[in-house]
Amino acid sequence: MAVEVTSEEQMLLDMVRDLVREKVAPRAAEIDAKGEFPWDIKELLAKQDILAMPFPEAYGGLGSSEVSILMTIEELAKACATTALILCVQQLGALPILLAGTEEQKQRFILRLASGEWLAAYALTEPGSGSDAGAMRTRAERRGDTYVLNGLKHFITNAGIAHINTVFAVTDPSVGTRGISAFVVEADRPGFHMGKIENKMGIRGSQTGELVFEDCEIPAENLLGTEGEGFKIGLSTLDRTRPGIAAQALGIAQGALDFATKYAKERRQFGRPIIENQGIQFMLADMDIKVEAARRLIYHVGGLMDAGVPHFSRESAIAKTYASDIAMEVTNDAIQVLGGYGYMKEFPVERMLRDAKICQIYEGTNQIQRLVIARELAR
């Protein structure tokens, strides 16, 4: 598929492929087994300016096109979904600041995120407020030149390791979602601490947990936009970052297809490689069809964003839903191609299936994405 990237971006993508082969892929199984955040890989991404890709040059970033960011996420996810998620969440946590922050806020926060010195987190979900963000209970009360936050966020990627957190809280409970506001909360604020760390099925090297706010004071200047704009900022952010999760799912699926194809060429049964059996050929062909269709949907959204098209919620939802659904199908079929070996941790496809599942859930479940698509059709 032809996609337009600059010569500099192509050089960066070539470097990413080498990096994945030499540094990321050899660490992937260990990262999964230990379930610990891979600080060495984060430093590697920062050193190679990969974490700078989503940020404007004016704030120390590369100002990369959305298409090239999606391609990079795909390449990383082919070997290690956890590694790909580091880039995804750096963009997710920072984007509200880029969308709604003041120049002073951008100078204060974005420069150190673009360099990779700091990590970001995006704190929207609560125990009783997942798909229904309007049921949010975390409160932010204005007291003079400060806001005081009280509440709990959970299932937050980078919980406890992010230096800054984009946090959504209710400032006016009488007006529903129009009473939600967005704030930047630094990790060292008094009254802010980490709660439970989750033990997850997949993306095990990515730290997921709770953020607890107990009379946590932050300066009023940490408000993003104006009071009541938080819900709009949150949705605008997710529209722009869902394609990254789609690209993560695509990379997982492509990695599983690549491994299954290689295995089928080498594995011999009945005196010949199993790839010569029509049953296996048809499975691999169907996997390839799904992966290629997902790729076209994802890069189409990236192209719309790069072209400055103002509305792409439907296309973003379609790409995320389809890519994550086929990632589950393709990784499941890859295990079947490997037979008993596919079920063993010695081979990566069982990890790829476990990693793929979350792509159907986070940044909006696929059921919510179908609601978004249906509403756009009704409109």
Active-site amino acid positions: 363
Please list the helix, strand and coil fractions of the chain in percent, rounded to the nearest 5, in that order: 60, 15, 25
Token pair, residue 65, equals 């096109």
Burial of 228 (0-12, 13-18, 19+ CB in 10 A): middle
Phi-psi region of 72 (alpha: psi -120 to 50; beta: other; left: phi over 0): alpha
Distance, CA of 117 to CA of 43 (rounded, Å):
8
Phi-psi region of 263 (alpha: psi -120 to 50; beta: other; left: phi over 0): alpha
- What angle do helix axes 278-306 and 230-266 make, rounded to 10 degrees? 150
- Which residues, at least 6 apart from 372, have a Cβ–Cβ distance to it below 8 Å? 313, 314, 317, 364
Distance, CA of 34 to CA of 342 (rounded, Å):
20
Give ∠ CA 79-240-304 in degrees, rounded to 5: 95
Answer for the pair 252, 75: CB distance below 8 angstroms, yes or no: no
Strands 164-170 and 120-123: parallel
Give ∠ CA 273-278-280 in degrees, rounded to 5: 65
Helix (H) or strand (E) holding 91: helix 81-100
3-state class (DSSP) for residue 268: strand
Where b means 16+ CB within 10 Å and e means fewer, 341-356 reads ebeeeebbbbbbbbbb
Distance, CA of 86 to CA of 28 (rounded, Å):
13
